[in-house]
């Protein structure tokens, strides 16, 4: 555990040396949410009395984590392999699982900080309610983040370079955010699309965050989907990890 935390601290310092990656990984989702909130129609109640800005809150949170995973973490990790950093680390006692765990720890903590900024922006700027079932919200966010970062690490484990990791990450990112409801809200999806959405980590995560924000417990299906993605994809990332 001490090695894990020391390595996570080192990775965090290295991460903040890449300003463009830091912006898209941490600042983009709060900025996007603030811009959405400036649109009058988004702040007005819909036919069901729910403001659109409150529907976008969990979507923006989930999208921010996905962007960090697939555009930040995967490229950063793949660039380590491309530059020979991982090859040099191979000569140390560091196990692949410790390195992957340090990357996951760093990413989850930083994403949680970015999410907190989004939630406080919603509360202070747009009078949105904070999650009513906070422990359940934290659990669902952790499962969502770990599942998405496992996907990012799998992309990085398989990619030969940072460029290919970026390309593959983009191909994965856009379908995920579509099923999260960014362009077509989940409420407007037909049964087939909603079923597919429920089986994706972002679709399940968005619904779980929405449920816990409104004071309900998350559905076991959505919790199980996120946990399943974490276990399966995380195992594949560790299985196909390559130093070179």
CA-based nearest residue to 54, from 185, 176, 178: 185
Rounded CA-CA distance 203/225 in Å is: 10
Cα–Cα distance list, 103 to 67, 68, 90, 110, 200 (Å): 15, 12, 16, 11, 23
Range(s) of the domain holding residue 139? 3-240
**Highest mean pLDDT: which range of 67-71, 87-91, 165-169, 218-222:** 218-222
Using a cut of 0.75, tell me whether the model's pTM lies above it: yes
Helix (H), strand (E), coil (C) string for the chain: CHHHHHHHHHHHHHHCCCHHHHHHHHHHHHHHHHHHHCCHHHHCECCCCCEHHHHHHHHHHHHHHHHHHHHHHHHHHHHHHHHCHHHHHCCCCCCHHHHHHHHHHHHHHHHHHHHHHHHHHHHHHHCCCCCCCHHHHHHHHHHHHHHHHHHHHHHHHHCCCHHHHHHHHHHHHHHHHHHHCCCCCHHHCCHHHHHHHHCCHHHHHHHHHHHHHCCCCCCHHHHHHHHHHHHHHHHHHHHCCCCC
Residue 19's pLDDT is what? 84
In this prediction, residue 148 has a pLDDT band, given cuts at 50, 70 and 90, of very high
Number of domains in the chain: 1
The predicted-structure confidence for 175-201, as pLDDT tens digits, reads as follows: 999 988 888 878 778 899 999 999 999
The predicted-structure confidence for 86-116, as pLDDT tens digits, reads as follows: 778 777 777 767 877 888 888 888 999 999 9
Q: Which residue has the higher pLDDT, 205 or 17?
A: 205
Mean pLDDT of the chain: 87
Residue 55's pLDDT is what? 87
Residue 17 has pLDDT above 80, yes or no: yes
The predicted-structure confidence for 218-243, as pLDDT tens digits, reads as follows: 999 999 999 999 999 989 988 887 77
């Amino acid at each position: 555990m001490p090695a894990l935390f020391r390595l996570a601290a080192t990775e965090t310092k290295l991460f903040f040396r890449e300003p463009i990656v830091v912006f898209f990984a941490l600042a983009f989702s709060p900025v996007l949410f603030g811009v959405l909130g400036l649109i009058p129609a988004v702040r007005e109640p819909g036919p069901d009395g729910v403001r659109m800005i409150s529907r976008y809150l969990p979507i923006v949170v989930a999208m921010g984590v996905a962007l960090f995973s697939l555009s930040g973490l995967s490229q950063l990790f793949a660039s380590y392999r491309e530059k020979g950093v991982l090859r040099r680390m191979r000569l140390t006692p560091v196990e692949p699982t410790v390195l992957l765990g340090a990357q996951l720890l760093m990413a989850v903590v930083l994403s949680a900080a970015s999410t907190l900024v989004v939630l406080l922006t919603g509360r202070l700027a747009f009078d949105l309610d904070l999650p009513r079932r906070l422990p359940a919200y934290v659990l669902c966010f952790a499962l969502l983040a770990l599942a998405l970062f496992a996907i990012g690490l799998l992309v990085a484990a398989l990619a030969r370079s940072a460029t290919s990791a970026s390309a593959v990450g983009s191909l994965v990112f856009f379908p995920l955010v579509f099923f999260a409801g960014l362009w077509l809200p989940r409420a407007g999806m037909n049964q087939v699309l909603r079923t597919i959405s429920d089986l994706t980590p972002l679709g399940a995560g968005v619904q779980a965050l929405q449920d816990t924000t409104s004071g309900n417990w998350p559905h076991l299906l959505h919790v199980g989907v996120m946990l399943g993605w974490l276990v399966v994809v995380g195992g594949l990332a560790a299985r196909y990890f390559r130093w070179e």
